Amino acid sequence: MYEIIAFYVFATLTIGMFGIVVMSSNALYAMSALAGGMIFISGFFFILDAEFLGVVQIVVYSGAIMALYAFGMMFFDTTRDVSEKMRSKKIAYTLSVISAILVVTILCAPLASEEIEAMYPSIDTVGNVQMIGVVLFTKYLVPFELAAIMLLVAMIAGIVLASKRMDEYLAMEENEIEYPKETK
Amino acid sequence: MENYLYTALFAPLVSSLFVALFAARPKMLITGIIASLLIATSMVASFVLLINVNTYGPLHVTMMDWIAAGNLEVPFGFVVDEVSVIMMVTVTLVSTIVHVYSIGYMDHDKSFNRFFSYLSAFVFSMMILVMSDNFVGLFIGWEGVGLCSWLLIGFWYERHSASWAANEAFIMNRIADLGMLMGLFLIYWTVGSFQYDDVFASVKTMDPVLLATIGLFLFIGAMGKSAQFPLHTWLADAMEGPTPVSALIHAATMVTAGVYLVIRCGEMYTLIPDVGFAIASLGAFVAVFAASMALVNNDLKRIIAYSTLSQLGYMFVAAGLGAYWIALFHLMTHAFFKSLLFLGAGNVMHAMHDELNIKKMGGLYGSMKATAILMSVASVALAGIYPFAGFFSKDKILEVAFNEGAYFLWFALFIGAGLTAFYSFRLVMLVFFGEKEYVKYGLHPHDAQPFVIYAMLPLGLLAVVAGFLEHTFEGFVTRLLAQYEIHIAHGTEALLIAGTLGIAMSGIAFAVFMYKRGGFPKSWEESVGYKLLSNQYYIPKLYELYIMRPFTSIARFAWLKIDTKIVDFTVDLIAKIVYSTGQNARKMQSGNLSDMLRWMVVGMVVLLALALFYRPMA
Amino acid sequence: MITLTHYLVLAGILFSIGLVGVMRRTNLLMLFFSTEILLNAINVGFVAVSKYYGDLTGQMFAFFIIAVAASEVAVGLGLLILWYKRNGSVDLNNLQTMKG
């Protein structure tokens, strides 16, 4: 009972939030709506007994990623409304409607298969977090480590890209650094 | 022994290719000498092979496999048996003499080298034709001589008349070749092989109607090559080429290829006597037909050309009636004296600065004794007077016609003999004796260079003595060809020989008598008969009106309406479609990220649709 | 009763919304937002499948997608900032140098 109500509530809210992200002309509204949408997605994860993932979603997505976007937005001039001249709206909307219909049709078909066997079956007695821990650090160890390295690389790349000549600063003396003039 | 075969076959090819290297250069005497030497080598090899075949029998050589596709197997095979070795000897002998003669004749021509290249190429093709041991090789040689004949007739291609004549010759040959190809197809379809041995072994068991069809088709091919009616107009026009070409091709070799074909397929034609009789009838008709046209013609070479046509008719009579060895014999002797006639005519032309009208010549005996004597000898041989060569061969043919009971054919040939004698001596009288008309045109004739005369001497000799080789020849050739028995009582035979000799001598006497007195009255030239004959019975005009004009208009229509508008249009359309597709697809690459994202979604939608509606059956 | 189909349909709808955003937006930053929506929709799908078949693989996949999304945002934003510094605008239509 609760599940059904929760599902539909979250669904409506998520769709609404993401609708705002896509349609709004104000960047700030869009960003906030995105953050909200993320939170509701995590709600879905909680309904589906994926507690660890739900928390990770909130922390990483709504916390870190949205923070990144917020910092990014500070960089651009966002007080103005983003005026977009969209080309041929009709085609875009037609395409999305068609793709939506197709996807839903495909997915509505009864998923038949009795032979699907779970590779890493969940055990009901143990909690979700423990199970994820077991699977993550035994069977998915290599992807885990690789993901870690990838994050490290991304971090360094982000820093290097965004800062001013940071690759040179570490090797220069204080008096050699030229500070740039004020840009517009 | 095979080396001799390969030498005889490939020496002309080597000569042709070697000289071709210098074809674009100005005259180099060495090319002529080398060409003549190589052809002489081929001749020597042919003589050796003649002796060899006489002693040991035929020689078969398979050089290599050519076509091996499924059931069709055609090798490059060569056979030197009695018939082909006679042809080889004839061809190479006349070719050598013509090559040496050409060194003198083409002396001042700027395309001296090219001429020898073509001439040697012709000899090579002819050798392939006579030496091949299967029908496909024969056909290759057939086409090769047609091509070389085109090249040589149109040698002076800047002249419109020459290139027209060359095209006429080639196209007429081609039309006839269609018939020959049909014959070849039928042979393959029935027998499954092109080799002479296989074909002649299986003709005995073939359905007579089918056999008659094959024989008829092959004869159509022979008709084109040997210029039988109605495909005869090209031979007279082919005189546009240089005289050595006429001597070689249109006297001795190419035009006899048709006769060779019939002789070679003798085993086939003996089984279909009706077709043979038709061939003989056509031959007799052509004999008289051509002789009649030669009576009134004023062109030096054309008279000799019509004479060739007439003699080819004689050969076909013999071949059609089953006397193959007699046809071959006449082929050989005719080659000797006819090419001698042509070469002599070449000398006369040279002396008269390429003047061809015999009415403008006369009394050349004084200045060109050697040529005059040689041409007279050849003419006497042609007329068939004892003891010259023509007597033996031509007389035998008349006996054959009589023997078969074809009295009408015999009569036609009889009249033809008379006409032949008349026009030959008409030519001799008008050119060498009588009034010196050429003085009016300010010409100073002189005879040809000595080595040219020496080259012609062997032919003269053979024209005289070849007749006595008749019995050796018969014994030799009938090892392969059918024997032919003549069953005429000795009394009748003597009467026939006397009759033929009589009409020939009366023809000569009449010509000498009339032209000593200045010829026929001028009024005769206005008469209908004269006009008919001198315009070749208006046949070329007929062809032009009813065949060439409609065909040209069809061709023009096909070119303008069909080729340009439809075929070109379709090809251009394909190109345009490709191009415009490219142009339109270019708009996809606008560089705009939003557009690209849209295209991505389009692709995704297409794939989804495919997944939904075209699921592979589970 | 909420079956797997419900969740998957929801994921599909969210995905379409993301597609609309991707096609519609010409501001690069907004484009990134739409990409995030796409990723999240997929995550929902994965976890739903994982729950209904009792397999943890779906959740693992969603986990790694989140990690990848994070790094992608970091690098993407860095590039965006660099581009802004150079060109002064983040509008797509000004980005059109690779014209075919």
Domains and CATH numbers, chain A: 1-79 (1.20.120.1200)
For residue B595, give how far its alpha carbon lies from the nearest alpha carbon of chain A (Å): 9
Whole-number mean pLDDT of chain B? 86
pLDDT for the residue numbered A93: 84
Mutate: best of C16, C19, C25, C79, partner B, most B CBs <10 A: C19
pLDDT for the residue numbered A14: 95
Q: Is B394 left (phi over 0), alpha (psi -120 to 50) or beta?
A: alpha
Residue B33 exposed, middle or buried by CB count within 10 Å (0-12, 13-18, 19+): middle
pTM above 0.80, yes or no: no
For residue A63, give how far its alpha carbon lies from the nearest alpha carbon of chain C (Å): 11
**Which among B605, B611, B612 has the least Cβ separation from residue A95?**
B605
Percent of chain B's residues with pLDDT above 90: 19
Residue B533 dihedral angles phi and psi, to the nearest 5°: -70, -40
pLDDT for the residue numbered B42: 92
| CB-based contact A102 B609, cutoff 8 Å | yes
Q: Both ends of chain B: CA-CA distance in Å?
A: 75
b/e map of B219-251 (b: 16 or more CB within 10 Å)? bbbbbbbbbbbebbbbbbbbbbbbbbbbbbbbb
**Which among A50, A93, A154 has the least Cβ separation from residue C71?**
A154
Tokens 């024209």 -> residue:
B463
Q: How confident is the model at residue B47 (pLDDT cuts 50, 70, 90)?
A: very high
Residue in B closest to A96 by C-alpha: B601
- pLDDT greater than 70 at residue B32: yes
pLDDT for the residue numbered B118: 92
Q: Are B157 and B163 in contact (CB under 8 A)?
A: yes
Q: Judge whether A29 is closer than 8 Å to chain C, CB to CB.
A: no
pLDDT for the residue numbered C55: 82
Q: How confident is the model at residue B348 (pLDDT cuts 50, 70, 90)?
A: confident
| CB-based contact C92 B594, cutoff 8 Å | yes
Hey, which chains touch A, using 3+ CB pairs under 8 Å?
B, C
**Which among A87, A96, A103 has the least Cβ separation from residue B594?**
A87
pLDDT tens by residue, B482-521: 777 777 778 888 888 888 888 888 888 888 888 777 767 7
Distance between CA atoms of B139 and B261, rounded to whole angstroms?
A: 10
Q: How confident is the model at residue B337 (pLDDT cuts 50, 70, 90)?
A: confident
Write out the two tokens for B486. 């003549």
Distance between CA atoms of B106 and B137, rounded to whole angstroms?
A: 32
The arithmetic mean of pLDDT across residues B203-218, rounded, is 88
| CB-based contact A53 C93, cutoff 8 Å | no
| CB-based contact B589 C95, cutoff 8 Å | no
Collect all residues of chain B within an 8 Å Cβ-Cβ radius of residue C22. 597, 601
Q: Are B384 and B504 in contact (CB under 8 A)?
A: yes
pLDDT tens by residue, A50-64: 999 999 999 999 999
**Which among A76, A95, A108 has the least Cβ separation from residue C84?**
A76
Q: Judge whether B64 is closer than 8 Å to chain C, CB to CB.
A: no
Write out the two tokens for B117. 């290249």
| CB-based contact A105 B611, cutoff 8 Å | no
| CB-based contact A75 C26, cutoff 8 Å | no
| CB-based contact C43 A72, cutoff 8 Å | no
* CATH number for region C2-87: 1.10.287.3510
| Residue among C1, B440, B335 nearest A7 (CA) | C1
pLDDT for the residue numbered B129: 93
**Which among B594, B602, B611 has the least Cβ separation from residue A95?**
B602
For residue C46, give how far its alpha carbon lies from the nearest alpha carbon of chain A (Å): 10
Residue in A closest to B595 by C-alpha: A87
Mark the ranges of chain A whose per-residue pLDDT is less than 70. Answer: 77-87, 110-125, 165-184
Residue in A closest to C75 by C-alpha: A158
Residue in A closest to B604 by C-alpha: A99
- pLDDT greater than 80 at residue B295: yes
Q: Judge whether A147 is closer than 8 Å to chain C, CB to CB.
A: yes
Q: For residue B75, what are the β-bridge partners?
A: B65
**How many CB pairs below 8 Å do chains A and B form together?**
23
Looking at residue A98, its amino acid is I
Collect all residues of chain A within an 8 Å Cβ-Cβ radius of residue B608. 99, 102-103, 106
What DSSP string describes B152-190?
Answer: HHTSSTTSHHHHHHHHHHHHHHHHHHHHHHHHHHHHHHH
**Which among C26, C50, C81 has the least Cβ separation from residue A85?**
C26
pLDDT for the residue numbered B618: 46
Q: Is B405 left (phi over 0), alpha (psi -120 to 50) or beta?
A: left
The arithmetic mean of pLDDT across residues B387-408, rounded, is 84
Q: Is B322 left (phi over 0), alpha (psi -120 to 50) or beta?
A: left
| CB-based contact C96 B586, cutoff 8 Å | no
